[in-house]
Amino acid sequence: MEERAPPAVGEATPSGAMRLRRSSPWALLGAIVAIVAVAVALSSLLGTVFIPPLTTLRLLFGLPNACAGTSVSPDLCTRWGEIIWQARLPEIVLAVIAGAALGISGATLQGTFRNPLADPFLLGISSGGTIGAAIVFDFHVGQVAPDLFLPLFAFIGAIATGVAILAVAVSRYGTVETLLLTGVALASLLSAVLALLLLYNPSGSQQVSYWLLGSLGNASWPVDGIALGVLLITGTLLSLFGRELNLMQLGGDVARSAGVDVRRVRIRLILLASLTTGVAVAFTGIIGFVGLVSPHVVRRIAGTDYRYVLPGSALVGAVFLLGARDFALLVYPTSLLPIGIFTAFFGAPFFIYLLFRRRVGSPMGSL
Amino acid sequence: MSGTPATAPPLRLVGVSVSYGARTALRKIDLSVRSGEFVALAGPNGSGKTTLLRTVLGFVTPSAGRVELFGDALESLSILERARRVAWLPQEESPRDDVRLIDYVLYGRYAFHGLLEGDSEEDYRLGHSILEQVGLADRADDGLLSISGGERQRAVLARALAQTTPLLLLDEPTSHLDIGHQLDLLARVRDLAHRRGVTVVAALHDLNLAARFADRIVVLSRGRCVADGPPAEILSEGLLAQVWGVVADLRREPRTGMPYLIAHHLTTAPRGPGSGTGFGPVHVVGGGGAAAPYLRTFADDGYSLSVGALHLLDTDAEVAEALLIRGPIEAPFAPLGPEVRERHRALLAAARAIVVAPFVVGPSNLANLEDLRPYVRTTPSFLVSRPSITERDFTGGRATQVYQQLREAGAREVTGMEEIVRELRALSSGPPTPSA
């Protein structure tokens, strides 16, 4: 009698306690894949040149006589086909790849650092890429093949920053806090270096500032091929770390007591996220907010399980960047405005909206 | 190594020392825990309980000695292998994500999953049965953040249990729980040990809980093991004073037969607000319980105290003893003898203030008043005037006479507790008075 004194279990439920629905996250992911497919098709309708929608779709699906029955000359029809296949589609595919890469990197870094604000920018990985690009612009490195050297240097810059953070991770000071602060400090340091580079050689500054806002203008099938190759490998590997990230959200010690080699996993995750970010930065420059916002969107619709947050963030990131590209073309069809302007334009207010909409009492981590 | 896993103890520490820089957290700890035993680690904050647990988990590397889990050296086991042998319930896990309880519990199955393996039907069955075991069967689909703190700690226990390890470590698992949930959690843990053969090592700072639930208590003090054995054997007032610096009464709980402790105060009581640094001794003269409230209050306020000649078995004498206040004691009901009076005078001479409680004066203790006479001239002295001396004079007027002499010699009358406390504070914060 004295032992059992059962605590009042039943009454402990706050009246507002919400039962988490047993939604199938995979069904949600399937829906997002479908949305990506539709978004790709719709995006192909938009471009700097107007092509009638039906014709576009016919060209897109490779139907013969795409322009039959219209007043369009076969010559123009061929050119339209080239525009769609050689300009629009590579750009759209790059948007999907870069968006997915930034989304999954953001989710990985938020999980690794247990911080809802972590993303490739906060940690300086993107800034590292910019330094690489600025070196190419300012010192006219690799004039022989700028299409090769610019992404290569940007990629190296991003990876180098990731490795610098890793150096802290493997040291005995490698707690989540020191890692995060190291990244933030590196980001500041790199922007100082960038400012110095721009002052040193103002002629490159316009190119660099264009780069700083991100663009899909470098898209081509070979570029897409390389980027996709890297993303498929890193993205697949990252998606395998869902269980580890779930446990790491409970704290490094808890994760370790449950069998996660936290240090090793952290190193792998940072390295993979740097590679993934690096490939996006290399070809598109700096596109903000995709990495930050996408994981939060996924958490709101599919829950906080990283087994779903990781692939989900890739898909949401893809849709987000594609949407930004489409919107840019809708409002200003004839120009190639830097896409980073639009991701920030929508990303920032949306992020604030998410912050204010989060359930009362739920902490930042679960937004 | 030193035995087959079947016979080797679940946990063995041999000469384990741990240092954090210059600070030594554990010194040469030897400990062997039997299978199915519930061992409580006790000791004040900073005594090394948590460090010991963290060493067993491999979070901290010992500077000397070795840790063995089921006969195997800890460092020879991978992180995964450790997770299959020992699970950990941290002091407070503060989950930030609103995960369904059942999913959260299955996080504990990490060490048993292949790279691409999902949670199987079997995992879910296990998860649900564990939730039932901790009394959360009907909350499986609730979010981790929507349940109460007491339930959450049980959910954390469930996650640790999902590791299905034969050894379970708990780090002050009840420190954030109310008394009902404390009892509930520890009863469940004890059942695990006694019914399912899980070996449990728990850091518990509540000694009464430790005594009630554990088979064995290991007491750490400044990184050393100072006591080890069944609660009834090792818990003593002396241990409490030595390790915790606490004066306590050890009683036996009539229903369970278990020892329990009533802590009174620190052996070195902290100084209360307003009291001067190191002020004292304040000497209290009393008897028959009249001095007890003054002694308690002054002790709480942090004065060092002495007490004037009392009789054995007298209430004041018992209180003084409990508070570790020095004073000469005479045999029961006997008149105060010359030796006792001599020691009383020595204490009076050393006192920096004298408080005369309103005690009943009879022939056997009249000397207490008489002996005061020379000292009230030189030492600030206070006579508590209520109830008045005439009401408690059982010496035929002799006591009243001495009382008047004390007043004339400089002793001041105070009406009661409030006034004397004020006077003592003023005295202790004022310029130091040379003692007589």
Model confidence pLDDT, tens digit, residues B294-307? 988 888 777 888 89
CA distance B297 to A295: 60
- With a CB cutoff of 8 Å and minimum separation 6, the contacts of B345 are B371
User: CB count, 10 Å around CB of A134?
Assistant: 28
Q: For residue A234, how many C-alpha atoms fall within 13 Å in the half-sphere facing its CB?
A: 29
A13 at B interface, C-beta within 8 A: yes
- With a CB cutoff of 8 Å and minimum separation 6, the contacts of A280 are A97, A98, A101, A102, A105, A227, A287
CA distance B276 to B57: 47
The token pair at B113 is: 């999953």
Q: How far is B236 from chain A (nearest CA, A)?
A: 24
Residues paired with residue B199 on neighbouring β-strands, in sequence order: B167
Distances (CA, A) of B297 to B289, B319, B413: 14, 12, 19
Residue given tokens 């390295």 in the structure block: A271
> Quick one: angle between helices A89-112 and A290-302, nearest 10?
70
A364, closest residue in chain B (CA to CA): B96
Residues present in chain A in total: 367
Q: φ and ψ at B41, to 5 degrees?
A: -95, 125
Q: φ and ψ at B221, to 5 degrees?
A: -145, 120
Positions in chain A short of pLDDT 50: 1-22, 360-367
The token pair at B349 is: 């001479």
> Quick one: angle between helices A221-239 and A89-112, nearest 10?
30
CB–CB contact B98 A247 (8 Å)? no
CB–CB contact B110 A5 (8 Å)? no
Q: φ and ψ at B18, to 5 degrees?
A: -135, 135
Residues A288, A340 contacting (CB under 8 angstroms)? yes
For each of chain B's 436 residues, which pLDDT tens digit applies?
444 445 789 999 999 999 988 888 999 999 999 999 999 999 888 889 999 999 999 999 999 999 999 999 999 999 999 999 999 998 877 777 888 899 999 999 999 887 777 778 888 999 999 999 888 999 988 888 888 888 888 899 999 999 999 999 999 888 778 888 889 889 999 999 999 899 999 999 888 889 889 999 999 998 999 999 998 888 888 888 888 877 777 777 777 777 777 776 666 544 443 344 467 789 999 988 899 889 888 887 778 888 988 888 888 888 888 777 878 888 887 888 888 898 899 889 889 899 999 999 988 889 999 999 999 999 999 999 888 899 899 888 999 999 999 999 999 999 888 899 888 888 887 655 444 3
DSSP code for B194: H
Within B232-343, strands assigned E span: 246-252, 259-266, 282-285, 305-307, 310-311, 329-330
Residues paired with residue B361 on neighbouring β-strands, in sequence order: B393
User: CB count, 10 Å around CB of B186?
Assistant: 26
> C-alpha angle B356/B361/B362, rounded to 5°?
155
Residue B88: which of A13, A257, A359 has the nearest Cβ? A257
Spatial CA neighbour of B383 closest among B363, B343, B422, B410: B410
Residues B62, B75 contacting (CB under 8 angstroms)? no
CA distance B335 to B357: 19
CB–CB contact B184 A361 (8 Å)? no
Residues A219, A94 contacting (CB under 8 angstroms)? yes
Q: How far is A5 from chain B (nearest CA, A)?
A: 7
Model confidence pLDDT, tens digit, residues A79-133? 888 888 888 899 999 999 999 999 999 999 999 988 888 888 888 888 888 888 8
Spatial CA neighbour of B427 closest among B280, B302, B270, B269: B280
CA distance A56 to B210: 77
Positive or negative torsion for Cα A28, A30, A35, A36: positive
CB–CB contact B79 A22 (8 Å)? no
Residues B274, B309 contacting (CB under 8 angstroms)? no
Q: Which of residues 53-82 of B touch A (CB under 8 A)?
A: 54, 57-59, 79-80, 82
Across B12-40, b (16+ Cβ under 10 Å) vs e yields bbbebbbbeeeebbbbebebebebbbbbb
Q: φ and ψ at B68, to 5 degrees?
A: -120, 135
- Provide the ipTM: 0.79
CB–CB contact A259 B79 (8 Å)? yes
- With a CB cutoff of 8 Å and minimum separation 6, the contacts of B250 are B235, B236, B237, B240, B259, B260, B261
Residues B15, B29 contacting (CB under 8 angstroms)? yes
Cis previous bond, B231, omega within 30: no
What's the pLDDT at B266? Answer: 67
- Report how far Cα A146 is from the mean position of its chain's Cα atoms: 25
Radius of gyration for chain A, computed over Cα atoms and rounded to the nearest angstrom: 23
Residues B302, B428 contacting (CB under 8 angstroms)? no
Q: Which of residues 227-266 of B touch A (CB under 8 A)?
A: 255-256
CA distance A271 to A274: 5
The token pair at B364 is: 């056997």
Containing H/E element for B65?
strand B64-69
CA distance B162 to B122: 12
Residue A17: which of B97, B115, B146 has the nearest Cβ? B146
> C-alpha angle B309/B312/B316, rounded to 5°?
65
Residues B219, B226 contacting (CB under 8 angstroms)? yes
B99 neighbourhood in chain A, CB within 8 Å: 20, 246, 303-305
What's the pLDDT at A148? Answer: 80
CA distance A12 to B146: 10
Residues A227, A280 contacting (CB under 8 angstroms)? yes
Spatial CA neighbour of A100 closest among A322, A319, A314, A340: A314
CA distance B306 to B236: 25
CA distance A306 to A267: 17
Q: How many CB pairs under 8 A join A and B?
A: 126
User: Which alpha helices (DSSP H) does B302-361 contain, by range?
Assistant: 315-322, 338-350
Q: Count, in order, helices (H) and strands (E) of chain A.
A: 15, 0
Residue B83: which of A4, A243, A257 has the nearest Cβ? A257
CA distance A105 to A125: 10
What's the pLDDT at A243? Answer: 93
Residues present in chain B in total: 436
CA distance A257 to B86: 8
What's the pLDDT at A12? Answer: 33
Cis previous bond, A151, omega within 30: no
What's the pLDDT at B276? Answer: 42
Based on the number of CB atoms within 10 Å of its own CB, is B237 exposed (0-12), middle (13-18) or buried (19 or more)?
Answer: middle
